[in-house]
Structure formats: structure tokens, C-alpha cells
Structure 1
């Protein structure tokens, strides 16, 4: 930023400045021995900003900087006498470098393909971990604004159950319904369905006695048909926890890749005599 622009900014800020040692890079704030200079704000000013606009940006940034700087100073004054900053910095740097390399390893060596057979085998071996915390239902559900467009035709489509009518029902839902869950093999949280209905309409206690109903509340007409319910503490079906199971499989593979690579590197460098132990002296 050239000198004329700097002068304009300082005038717009309307604040006193310390004796300048570099007029083109003035000090904007000082906290004890730390200084914030204008050059540190390079790239923060939008194109076409007036000196007044830039002054607002400078003032806000300087205020945030001063708050951070004074907190850092206070932290330094109260740091434990035995705090080894050099060691902390070394450990943090080592952690960052190691994490970056591990990410690179995972991106190049991890096989993310999971077959259906692998998924089923993993689920069968670990399904005790997938105990339901809340009831789930397999159902059809629609919420349509009232007055309901083509209501008689909708009722025919809803009640028929023929494949061609199921497709027509989906087309109707795309056009008119605010909520439509029409996959009869999908599982949903009962709470998720109940939240779409007037309060108290559907609960874990009454869902089995309200397996199918149509209900009107003056604003919406609701359609519900229950096929199956699984209560809490039962094992969730695979389709309900499939994404969770896939993540678990990939996490195990990632851990295996990293452990195998770590061991391979260790054995390689041990053979090259680049690792020495002196613990048996």
C-alpha cells in the first residue's frame, strides 16, 4: 500500500500514531512489546474500498488482534515454570508431519470398495453393537396441504398398492406433497415420523394400534401405513445402519493400513541399521 493511501487511512482512523520508523508500514496497535503493522493486513482490503471503509476494517482487526495479544501475554505470565515450550512445539510439529503423511498413505493405499458380502459379514459379526436407542418403523407416509388436490384420485392410488399406482403415487407426491416417504423397504425413526404429525398423534405406545390412518387437521391431510416396527433395544436392521457399518469397515481398514505401513518402515530401517537400541547395556 503506497504512502498516499496509508496517509489517507491514518487520517480516516483519526487516532494518534507512535513515532514512525517506517511511514509506509505504520504501527496500528501495540501490546507490551508486540506490534501490529499495516503490512500484516495485506490482502484484507476489498478492491475499490475507500479510506473510510479500510479504516473500519483496520480498526476491527486491530481490536481483535489486541485482544488475542493481551491474552497471550497474560498466558505467558502465568505459564508454569517447568513448561517446556520447545518440546511442545517439537511434539506438535511431529504430530502435524505424521498426520499429513498418514493422510497421504490412506489416500493412496486404502481400498474403499466394500462388497455387499463384506458388509453383511461385518454386520453379522458386530450386530450386537447396533442396538436401537429409539423405535424405528417401516412405513409409508404423506403430508399433503388441505384442501387436497385430486383427493379421490389420491385415495385410489394410496389404497390400491399396484406397481403402476405406486409410480403414479410418487408422481403425485412430487407435485403436491410437502412430505412423502414412499419406499416401503426403508426404515425411519418413529420420532422422525411423529414430528411431521400433530403432537401426540403417533407414539411408541400407540403406533401398533394405529397401523393405518388418514387424518385431517384443517391445514394438512396425513396418510400413514405401518408395515413393521422395531422397538428400542432391538438390533437394528442392516439397511438402517448401513452407512454406520461402512464407516466402521473403512476405519478398521485405515487403521490396518497405517499399522502395516508403520511396521514395514520399521523393519526396513532396522535391516538398514538405521535404528539402534542401547537398552541392554
Structure 2
């Protein structure tokens, strides 16, 4: 793989080669007094990537390296950095990163990711204040048609009907003439998301309570037929079905925090029992 990297660099970056002492590898780039060598490019190109893609990856890495070294040069020249303070911060960051990686490995191994419906419901009922709506939500059906679509009176009657045969006729009509449609959708949607599909702003938030009525809206020479099946307004409680996914994530995050906290306390307690931790007065 190293030979492949050297070949790629030799072809793509010949102009960057700089003569060095005999027996030493030729660098592929220089930024001030820092040099980048072919062996530094190991791992830049993933297995299976060849041709122009590999050249682009190497080129991008060299560009990034050159930019970083230039910034470091100017930063070191223009800042009075306390080496001991900097080293201490680097060590703290490294230690924190090692602990974080260990904690994530522990979570991946031991975290129980199964959340029952009963747990979700209990969480929902005990924390009602967390699930207040910041915007209206709606259940609706809509049909988007050309303004001159045929048999509109019949379509409107079918749209309001609960008769199975007429609903089937409407489905067939929509498959032939509708530009877009959604019938008998029982899911809740945020108003802001629906506005991207239908001209809901023309209905107006004051009319969201008019359940079962057909709203006819013409926009951009197209006809929208919209029926609101249910609605909930801002500052009212979100239904469980809409909050369910968020609740599961909240429960899992709580379990994760508790697992990590338990692990930390267990390690520290064990270290103290074995006299591996001492605090001197």
C-alpha cells in the first residue's frame, strides 16, 4: 500500500518533490520548516479506493496539512504560550478522551436499549409539562389537482364520504388525475411541516378547529382540496403517539447517564478499598 501511495504522489505531485540528502526519502510537501513524507500518507486512502478518487484524497490531505502547519507557525510566532500550561491542557484533553472512549465501549456492551410501551406511557404521564406543543399539529387528507380537473363536484362528495365504494372510487380517481394526494392519513403532523406540502397558511390557524370541512384553495393554477380530521393547538399537550420517539430517547439517555455514573462510582470505590487512592493532608 505504501508503494501505491508513493506512486500516486510521484505522478500527481512531482513538482512538490524537494531534493534531500542521499539516502533520505523525498518529501511531498513543505510548510515553513515542516516536511510531509510519503510514509506520513499511510491510511489516507481507504482500502478499495483507487484512481482519481485516491489522488483527490491525497491532494486534499496535503492541502489540509499545509494549511494547518502554516497556521501553527503563525500562532507560535505571535502568541506567548506557556508550554507547561499548554502541555497540561493537552494531557487533560487526552485523559478525557480516553475515559470517554471507555465509557462509550461500556455503554455499547451493557446498555439495555429495550424500552417498553408501559415505560413510555409512565414517563409521558409523569412529565406532562415536557410535552406541550410549540406549534399546532394536524391530521388531514388532501388532494392536489389541476384547476380544470374533471368531475370536481363528484370528487368532493367522495372526499367527504365514509362509504367504502365511494372511497375506492376516489382512490382510483386520484391515481389518474391527482398531482399529489394523501387519503385517510391518521398520523399527526406539525403545521410547519404540512405547509411545505399544501398551502395551509391560506386555511389560517384560526380555522384549524373546523374539523370535517373541505377547504378549497387555488394556488399557482392548481386546486387543493383539504380536509382537517383533527387538530391540537400550541400550548396544549402533545399526543403520546407524536412524543413516543422522543420519550424513548430520553429514557435511554437517562439509563446511559446512570450506567456511566454507576461505573465511575464502582471504580473509585474499588480503588479506595484497595488503597489505590490516597489523599494526603
Pick the TM interval, shorter chain. 0.7 to 0.9
Counterpart of 1:243 (choices 242, 245, 252) is 245
1:153-206 C-alpha deviation (Å, 9 max, x unpaired): 85565322246766786787678553426323x211122223323474122133
Partner Cα separation in structure 2 for residue 23 and residue 82 of structure 1: 35
Cα distance change, pair 246–164 in 1 and its aligned pair in 2 (3 A): farther
Query: Secondary structure, in 3 states, of the residue corresponding to 1:208?
Result: coil
Partner Cα separation in structure 1 for residue 249 and residue 278 of structure 2: 39
Cα distance change, pair 138–18 in 1 and its aligned pair in 2 (3 A): closer
Query: Secondary structure, in 3 states, of the residue corresponding to 2:127?
Result: helix
Cα distance change, pair 195–60 in 1 and its aligned pair in 2 (3 A): closer
Identify unmatched segments of 5+ residues in structure 1: none
TM-score normalized by the length of structure 2: 0.76
Deviates more, 1:142-151 or 1:121-130: 142-151
Contact 2:141 2:181 in 1 (8 A): no
Query: Secondary structure, in 3 states, of the residue corresponding to 1:39?
Result: helix
Partner Cα separation in structure 1 for residue 40 and residue 150 of structure 2: 62
Deviation at 1:99, TM superposition (A): 1.1
Contact 2:26 2:37 in 1 (8 A): yes
Contact 1:194 1:201 in 2 (8 A): no
Match of 1:106 in 2: 107
Match of 1:86 in 2: 87
Deviation at 1:35, TM superposition (A): 0.8
Contact 1:190 1:203 in 2 (8 A): no
Deviation at 1:82, TM superposition (A): 6.3
Match of 1:73 in 2: 73
Partner Cα separation in structure 1 for residue 91 and residue 26 of structure 2: 34
Match of 1:21 in 2: 21
Query: Secondary structure, in 3 states, of the residue corresponding to 1:84?
Result: helix
Contact 2:202 2:217 in 1 (8 A): no
Partner Cα separation in structure 2 for residue 222 and residue 7 of structure 1: 59
Match of 2:98 in 1: 97
Contact 1:143 1:180 in 2 (8 A): no
Identify unmatched segments of 5+ residues in structure 2: none
1:15-66 C-alpha deviation (Å, 9 max, x unpaired): 6x543225773123323321122333356496456xxx96x87766544322
Match of 1:233 in 2: 235
Query: Secondary structure, in 3 states, of the residue corresponding to 2:227?
Result: strand
Contact 1:106 1:254 in 2 (8 A): yes
Query: Secondary structure, in 3 states, of the residue corresponding to 1:89?
Result: helix
Cα distance change, pair 178–79 in 1 and its aligned pair in 2 (3 A): farther
TM-score normalized by the length of structure 1: 0.76
